[in-house]
């Protein structure tokens, strides 16, 4: 029997997290299951507006992503997160919150990550133009006991994806073979979905955004930007 779960991809910038997340997403969707990717860079533009790159803000960013993943799982949607999430403590908290949690360390030497960095962020960080950049001026704490370690400098994308999928199946979160399924929406979301015609993601994002950061609620300006982003994506009318 399928169980909703979250695959949490963590690793240095430009290690290959987003690429693998999209490939794993396609594999799960091809198997007939609802699945969604929460990409760290994209999430920062609408769910975690106003957060910087201090340790506290980074931990809060991870907390919000974890809560949204948890809500999606409860709604019958498998979730894949692709976020640097550099701190062990924050990842452990995400694991406790989510429950069915598959931590994937996307391992890659920093030298290779720098070569892949088309945005030139590593170079800017080494010149001091970017402060608190993971791997340069801020630490990356590698997972202590991840469910999967993929080495993107040695393994092909296909090999990495195959090993992730194999582990998910071993854990019993996905059956082998092609299976079609439906999303079961919790009763407390039905009225909200029916009232405003929003997608499930929009409702979940709305709820999480209103929870606010640890130190206080999301500001009206931040919430307005979140709504604008969701409308642009077609999630709000």
Name the residue with tokens 């290779």: 112
Per-residue pLDDT reduced to its tens digit, 135-181: 999 999 999 999 999 999 999 999 999 999 999 999 999 988 655 44
SS3 label, residue 11? coil
- What are the start and end residues of each CATH 3.40.50.300 domain in the chain? 6-170
Residue 134 confidence (pLDDT): 95
Q: Can you tell me the distance from the alpha carbon of 24 to that of 30, in angstroms, rounded to the nearest whole number?
A: 10
pTM above 0.85, yes or no: no
Which tens digit of pLDDT belongs to each residue from 41-55?
888 777 666 777 888
Residues 6+ apart with CB under 8 A from 160: 16, 20, 106, 150, 152
Q: Which residue has the higher pLDDT, 229 or 166?
A: 166
Which residues are known catalytic residues? 85
pLDDT of residue 182: 47
The pLDDT of residue 223: 60
Which CATH number is 6-170's, of 3.90.950.20, 3.40.50.300, 1.20.210.10, 2.70.160.11? 3.40.50.300
**Using CA atoms, how far apart are residues 61 and 82, in angstroms rounded to an integer?**
12
Distance CA 74, CA 67 (A): 11
């Amino acid at each position: 029997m399928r169980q909703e779960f979250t695959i949490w991809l963590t690793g240095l910038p430009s290690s290959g997290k987003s690429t693998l997340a999209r490939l794993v997403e396609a594999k799960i969707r091809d198997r007939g299951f609802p699945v969604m990717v929460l990409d760290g860079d994209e999430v920062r533009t609408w769910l975690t507006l106003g957060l910087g790159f201090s340790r506290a803000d980074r931990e809060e960013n991870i907390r919000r992503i974890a809560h949204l993943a948890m809500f999606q799982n409860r709604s019958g949607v498998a979730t894949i997160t692709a976020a640097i999430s550099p701190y062990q403590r924050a990842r452990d908290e995400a694991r406790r919150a989510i429950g069915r949690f598959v931590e994937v360390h996307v391992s890659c030497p920093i030298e290779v990550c720098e070569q892949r960095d088309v945005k030139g962020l590593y170079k800017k960080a080494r010149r001091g133009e970017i402060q608190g950049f993971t791997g340069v001026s801020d630490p990356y704490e590698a997972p202590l006991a991840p469910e999967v370690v993929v080495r993107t400098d040695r393994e092909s994308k296909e090999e990495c994806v195959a090993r992730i999928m194999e582990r998910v199946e071993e854990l019993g979160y996905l059956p082998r073979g092609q299976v079609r399924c439906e999303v079961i929406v919790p009763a407390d979301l039905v009225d909200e979905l029916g009232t405003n015609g929003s997608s499930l993601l929009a409702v979940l994002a709305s709820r999480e955004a209103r929870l606010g950061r640890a130190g206080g609620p999301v500001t009206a300006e931040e919430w307005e930007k979140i709504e604008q982003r969701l409308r642009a994506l077609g999630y709000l009318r």
